[in-house]
């Protein structure tokens, strides 16, 4: 089993050009979770693997520790951490000009200190926060989000086609459980560290049977049993140690260890047969929504009532289909996910970093006619027209209301690529967030679960709850957003404290701090057919909410 090599080496980036300058470390992070500085669950645990990002940190070609024990210096690079006046030298895992990785010694004092990278006689420093334990879950895509690296007892990875089931004992991989008594540069003796750990799967507490080191320095595993009554392709997995919560990841659970499924979404596997036979898949997506949001910004109230309709008809390759499955795949019922962000405010100064925008896949638009007409049960028809002149397959329009009743959606006589179609559907009364006033009327305690209740809505569809809190220092803007999915028919949902704790506290008096909570619904994708389309879907939703204070 070589998870240590697989996890640490997968963090390597392509090498850039080495410049004759001092090392310039910018950020210190857990390489599994990638939690960013400024967030409440940031901190490097004693005895854990960590990664330093920056420039001029090491050689232009990756250099990896060839064997154990891990060396104190590697290809001219070494790292020293000093907290409360006590310096320690970290065992090196790998070094590269843009990032270096090492293991934080278990005897490093906790608190805020300084990390210094030395390379070929030059040095540069950056702050570091050391905590006793703060587990980061390794993910398949190495970003800290999405499917977790969780395996069966034979080390085969849980996936959408080989799901876990209730009662299975699985291994969750990551780093940050806390210190050990032995040396951190050699293979540790696997033993349960006794760290107070809670594993939440789909919001339910799982039974933990082991939490400790694996057979490699800094690499931890948590063995747990899958709770009953949970299925889905994106069931949330979160680990809490004290008040520190991990990154939010997902795993697939089915009743028979087979392929997973989500009633509220469509996975990429739905398109696989067509992609395999044709090389492309033609998809149409029609979306109607209406939001009512009231936000307070430093005492100023901003009301936003927005109704919007859109339709997209496009042809995708296998590499491009992910750009739309994110819209269709709405998450597993009963689960919450968290995404975080951190942006340097001095992005134009030396040593700062600016994230590159994610390229938008180039897809082929499909002409579905001059317009898409949505006829509601009362009032004027909603007409979706081409968004940009000369651009095929993209339509939009305003929506004044989405009342309950019978609807008809049509593209008239059709277009060059997509023939005529008519889809009839019936919508239930929109969902109403019934305890909104009570929830928003007082600060929300992030250490306690929060229950939302609602009425109305189609019992067969899904409720969506999203919350965001942001903050800023003199140099950095940061924040986190959660999204929870629940069955409308339940009439209520409790957001776990393990999710709320990932949000930074809100300062309602600051222009740089914003907190809001929104509750709404989104229909399950309703399929329609049309000449020229392999798949067609209609989504209808709406939400209400506004400013809150997370404390």
Condensed to tens digits (0 to 9), the pLDDT of residues 436-450 reads 999 988 999 999 999
Provide the CATH number for the domain around residue 105.
2.60.40.10
More confident position, 330 or 163? 163
Determine the average pLDDT of the residues in 2-10.
Answer: 39
What is the reported pLDDT for 523?
81
What is the reported pLDDT for 357?
38
Q: What are phi and psi of 114, to 5 degrees?
A: -125, 135
Write out the DSSP string of 333-346: TT-EEEEEEEEETT
Domain boundary among 105, 131, 157: 131
Does residue 144 share a domain with residue 120?
Answer: no
Residue 439 covered by a domain: yes
Write out the DSSP string of 394-413: EEEEE-S---SEEEEEE-TT
Highest mean pLDDT among 49-63, 300-314, 463-477 belongs to 49-63
User: CB of 351 within 8 A of CB of 345?
Assistant: no
User: CB of 122 within 8 A of CB of 196?
Assistant: no
Residue 125 covered by a domain: yes
Mean pLDDT over all residues of the chain? 88
Supply the range of the domain harboring residue 93: 3-131
Whether residue 209 is predicted with pLDDT greater than 90 in this model: the reply is: yes
Whole-prediction pTM:
0.84
d(CA 113, CA 46): 13
Does residue 425 share a domain with residue 529?
Answer: yes
Determine the average pLDDT of the residues in 231-260.
Answer: 94
Task: Name the one residue in this structure whose structure tokens are 């499909």.
Answer: 366
Does residue 286 share a domain with residue 199?
Answer: no
For the chain, percent of residues with pLDDT exceeding 90: 70
Condensed to tens digits (0 to 9), the pLDDT of residues 15-34 reads 333 334 799 999 999 999 99
The number of C-alpha atoms within 13 Å of 16 and in the hemisphere containing its C-beta is: 11
d(CA 493, CA 467): 14
Whether residue 325 is predicted with pLDDT greater than 70 in this model: the reply is: no
DSSP helix/strand/coil, 147: strand
Residue 477 covered by a domain: yes
Q: How many CB atoms lie within 10 A of CB 405?
A: 12
DSSP helix/strand/coil, 120: coil
Burial degree of 259 (CB within 10 A; 0-12, 13-18, 19+):
middle
Give start and end residues of each alpha helix (H) in 115-163.
none
Number of structural domains the chain divides into:
3
Does residue 127 share a domain with residue 55?
Answer: yes
Q: Is the peptide bond before 69 cis (omega within 30 degrees of 0)?
A: yes
- Percent of the chain as helix, strand, coil, to the nearest 5: 5, 45, 50
User: CB of 408 within 8 A of CB of 415?
Assistant: no
DSSP helix/strand/coil, 275: helix
Residue 268 covered by a domain: no
Write out the DSSP string of 499-512: HHTTSPPP-TT-TT
For the chain, percent of residues with pLDDT exceeding 70: 87
Weakest mean pLDDT among 371-380, 433-442, 505-514 = 505-514
Whether residue 12 is predicted with pLDDT greater than 50 in this model: the reply is: no
d(CA 126, CA 386): 51
d(CA 419, CA 373): 14
Does residue 428 share a domain with residue 287?
Answer: yes
Does residue 111 share a domain with residue 74?
Answer: yes
Residue 490 covered by a domain: yes
d(CA 82, CA 71): 19
Provide the CATH number for the domain around residue 143.
2.60.40
Whether residue 142 is predicted with pLDDT greater than 60 in this model: the reply is: yes
Determine the average pLDDT of the residues in 44-67.
Answer: 97
What is the reported pLDDT for 291?
84
* pLDDT band with cut points at 50, 70 and 90 for residue 270: confident
Does residue 155 share a domain with residue 107?
Answer: no
Does residue 418 share a domain with residue 502?
Answer: yes
* pLDDT band with cut points at 50, 70 and 90 for residue 503: very high
Residue 258 covered by a domain: no
Domain boundary among 131, 165, 183: 131
What is the reported pLDDT for 11?
36
* pLDDT band with cut points at 50, 70 and 90 for residue 2: very low
Whether residue 360 is predicted with pLDDT greater than 80 in this model: the reply is: no
In terms of DSSP bridges, do strands 44-45 and 122-131 run parallel, antiparallel, or are they unpaired?
parallel
- Residue 232, both tokens: 């889905």
Whether residue 237 is predicted with pLDDT greater than 50 in this model: the reply is: yes
Does residue 493 share a domain with residue 461?
Answer: yes
* pLDDT band with cut points at 50, 70 and 90 for residue 347: very low
Residue 262 covered by a domain: no
Residue 265 covered by a domain: no
More confident position, 112 or 361? 112
* pLDDT band with cut points at 50, 70 and 90 for residue 498: very high
Domain boundary among 110, 131, 152: 131
Does residue 475 share a domain with residue 363?
Answer: yes
Task: Name the one residue in this structure whose structure tokens are 């980036």.
Answer: 13
- Residue 99, both tokens: 């990032």
Does residue 203 share a domain with residue 145?
Answer: yes
Does residue 280 share a domain with residue 224?
Answer: no
What is the reported pLDDT for 355?
37
């Amino acid at each position: 089993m070589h998870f240590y090599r697989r996890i640490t080496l997968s963090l390597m980036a392509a090498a850039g050009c080495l410049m004759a300058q001092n090392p310039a470390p910018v950020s210190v992070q857990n390489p599994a979770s990638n939690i960013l500085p400024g967030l409440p669950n940031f901190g490097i645990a004693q005895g854990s693997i960590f990664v330093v990002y920056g420039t001029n940190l090491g050689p232009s070609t990756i250099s990896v520790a060839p064997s154990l024990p891990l060396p104190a210096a590697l290809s001219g690079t070494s790292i020293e951490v000093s907290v409360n006046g006590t310096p320690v030298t970290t065992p090196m895992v790998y070094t590269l000009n843009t990032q270096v990785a090492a293991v934080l010694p278990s005897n490093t004092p906790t608190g805020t200190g300084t990390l210094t990278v030395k390379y070929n006689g030059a040095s540069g420093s950056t702050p570091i926060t050391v905590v006793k334990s703060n587990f980061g879950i390794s993910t398949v895509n190495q970003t800290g989000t999405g499917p977790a690296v969780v395996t069966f007892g034979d080390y085969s990875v849980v996936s959408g086609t080989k799901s876990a089931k209730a009662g299975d004992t699985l291994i969750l991989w990551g780093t940050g459980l806390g210190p050990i008594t032995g040396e951190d540069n050699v293979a540790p003796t696997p033993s349960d560290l006794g760290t107070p750990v809670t594993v939440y799967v789909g919001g339910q507490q799982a039974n933990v049977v082991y939490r400790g080191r694996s057979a490699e320095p800094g690499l931890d595993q948590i063995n747990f049993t899958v709770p009953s009554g949970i299925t889905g392709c994106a069931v949330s997995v979160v680990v809490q140690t004290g008040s520190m919560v991990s990154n939010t990841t997902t795993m697939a659970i089915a009743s028979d260890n087979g392929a997973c499924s989500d009633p509220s979404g469509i996975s990429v596997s739905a398109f696989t047969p067509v992609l395999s036979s044709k090389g492309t898949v033609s998809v149409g997506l029609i979306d109607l929504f209406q939001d009512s949001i009231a936000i307070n910004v430093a005492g100023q109230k901003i009301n936003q009532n927005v109704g919007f309709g859109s339709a997209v008809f496009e042809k995708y390759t296998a590499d491009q289909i992910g750009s739309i499955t994110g819209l269709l795949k709405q998450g597993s019922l009963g689960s919450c996910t968290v995404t975080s962000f951190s942006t340097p405010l001095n992005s134009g100064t030396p040593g700062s970093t600016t994230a590159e925008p994610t390229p938008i896949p180039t897809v082929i638009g499909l002409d579905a006619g001059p317009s898409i007409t949505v006829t509601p049960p009362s009032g004027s028809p909603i007409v979706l027209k081409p968004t940009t002149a000369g651009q095929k397959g993209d339509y939009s329009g305003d929506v004044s209301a989405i009342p309950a009743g019978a609807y008809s959606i049509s593209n008239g006589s059709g277009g060059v690529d997509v023939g005529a179609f008519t889809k009839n559907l019936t919508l239930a009364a929109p969902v109403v967030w019934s305890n909104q006033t009570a929830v928003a009327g007082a600060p929300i305690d992030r250490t306690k679960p929060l229950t939302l209740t609602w009425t109305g809505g189609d019992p067969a569809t899904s409720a969506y709850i999203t919350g965001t809190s942001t903050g800023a220092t003199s140099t950095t803007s940061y924040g986190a957003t959660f999204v929870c999915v629940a069955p409308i028919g339940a009439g209520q949902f409790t957001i776990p404290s393990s999710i709320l704790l990932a949000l930074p506290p809100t300062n309602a008096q600051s222009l740089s701090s914003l907190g809001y909570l929104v509750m709404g619904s989104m229909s399950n994708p309703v399929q329609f057919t049309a000449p020229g389309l392999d798949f067609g879907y209609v989504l209808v939703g709406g939400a209400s909410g506004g400013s809150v204070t997370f404390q």
